[in-house]
Amino acid sequence: MSTEKTFRLDGRDIPFIEGDTVMDAALRAGEYIPHLCHNPEFPPHGSCRVCVVDVNGRHQCSCTLPADENMDVDNSSEAITDVRRSLLQMLFVEGNHTCPGCEKSGACQLQAVAYNTRMLNPHFTHFFPKRSIDASHPEIVFYYNRCILCGLCERVSRDIDKKSVFAITGRGINSKLEFNSLSGKLGDTELSADDKAASVCPVGAILPKYKGFEVPIGERLYDTKPISVVGDVAANHSAEDSVLGNADEYSSDE
């Protein structure tokens, strides 16, 4: 008789080991739970709430919830998809996510998760915030319009790169990503193109400079297969995607 511990997810037994979250166990078992701020490489954060699941009748954040044998998890009902869709719609209207003009379109985790929840419109009134671009860094551009405040760059820069280049400041709707430099400019921080934080962004907020639309339509990450099959942007990050790809062509040493 097996001693493996399991919980139920959409009617299927999902094995887990001590310390697993619901997300960890589900992903290992090949069950996709939509998520944005979560990256399996790093400790969970639980900030975007897109990975919400229904556990024994209560909404829980699957990336931070420790797995337990008595759990009956609903990951795919229309009701839970509705909740996720609303969260995504709020993310879309809070920033300026104009996919048609975005280099990341077709390979963007926010867009792909929105497709996964069958989001067809923003539903809520757009905020149309006035946000700019920081192109002061020689190799990287930061687009404030597209940042979803997932905190991945902040955590990775602090915990992996040991530079703490990014920080989310302010509260609630006034939260924003700031850069750790006296001028407040990205170009004056210690960020380097080969930092892990430079390539961890799930959306089109942190992108390599001097490079755009080089992957033809039809060959982009999510052009032919959904995110539930392909997986996260970060998991598919390749050498060609690297900010180093084109960066040194025009970056000056002066």
Partner 1 sequence: MSSTLETAANPQILKRIAIDPLTRVEGHGKVTLLQDDNNNIKQARLHITEFRGFEKFIQGRPYWELPVLVQRLCGICPVSHHLAAAKATDMIVSASELTPTADKIRRLMHFGQTLQSHALHFFHLCSPDLLFGFDDDVRHRNIVGVIEDHPEIARQGVLLRKFGQEIIRITSGKRIHGTGAIPGGVNKSLSKSEVAYLQADVQQVIAWAQDAVQLVKKVFFEHYDYHQAFASIESNMMSLVRPDGAFELYDGGLRARDIRGNSIFDHVDYRQYEEYIRENVKNWSYMKFPFITSLGEEDGWYRVGPLARVNNCDFFGTELAEQERIQFMAIGNGLPVQSTLAFHWARLIELLHCTEAIAEILEDKDLRGKELVNKGELVCCGTGVIEAPRGTLFHHYEINDEGIVEKASLIVSTTNNNQAMNESIRKVSSQYLDGNELSEALLNQVEVAIRAYDPCLSCATHAMGKMPMEISLLDANNELIDRLEKNSSGQINRTL
**Which residues contact partner 1 (rule: CB under 8 A)?**
100-101, 103, 132-133, 135-136, 141, 209-219, 249-250
Question: Considering the complex, what minimum distance in angstroms separates the CB of residue 82 from partner 1?
Answer: 31
Question: Considering the complex, what minimum distance in angstroms separates the CB of residue 126 from partner 1?
Answer: 16
CB-nearer residue toward partner 1: 68 or 249: 249
CB-nearer residue toward partner 1: 151 or 208: 208
- Concatenating the DSSP letter of every residue in 228-245 gives HHH--TGGG--GGGSTHH
Question: Considering the complex, what minimum distance in angstroms separates the CB of residue 247 from partner 1?
Answer: 12
CB-nearer residue toward partner 1: 137 or 155: 137
Question: Considering the complex, what minimum distance in angstroms separates the CB of residue 104 from partner 1?
Answer: 11
Question: Considering the complex, what minimum distance in angstroms separates the CB of residue 177 from partner 1?
Answer: 18
The SS3 call for residue 185 is coil
Question: Considering the complex, what minimum distance in angstroms separates the CB of residue 207 from partner 1?
Answer: 9
CB-nearer residue toward partner 1: 72 or 214: 214
The SS3 call for residue 194 is coil
User: Which residues in 84-101 are b (16+ Cβ under 10 Å) and which e?
Assistant: bbebbbebbbbbbbeeee
Signed CA dihedral, 119, 121, 122, 128: sign only: positive
C-alpha distance across the termini of the chain, in Å: 68
Task: Give the CA distances from residue 109 to residues 2, 44, 88, 121, 159, in Å, rounded to whole numbers and listed in that order.
Answer: 37, 17, 11, 17, 23
CB-nearer residue toward partner 1: 100 or 172: 100
Question: Considering the complex, what minimum distance in angstroms separates the CB of residue 70 from partner 1?
Answer: 49
CB-nearer residue toward partner 1: 136 or 164: 136
Cβ(175)–Cβ(168) under 8 Å? yes
Nearest-angstrom CA–CA distance, 178 and 89: 24
User: Half-sphere exposure of 254 toward its Cβ, with a 13 Å CA cutoff?
Assistant: 2
Nearest-angstrom CA–CA distance, 175 and 171: 5
CB-nearer residue toward partner 1: 34 or 208: 208
Which of 200, 171, 202, 207 minimizes the C-alpha distance to 186?
207
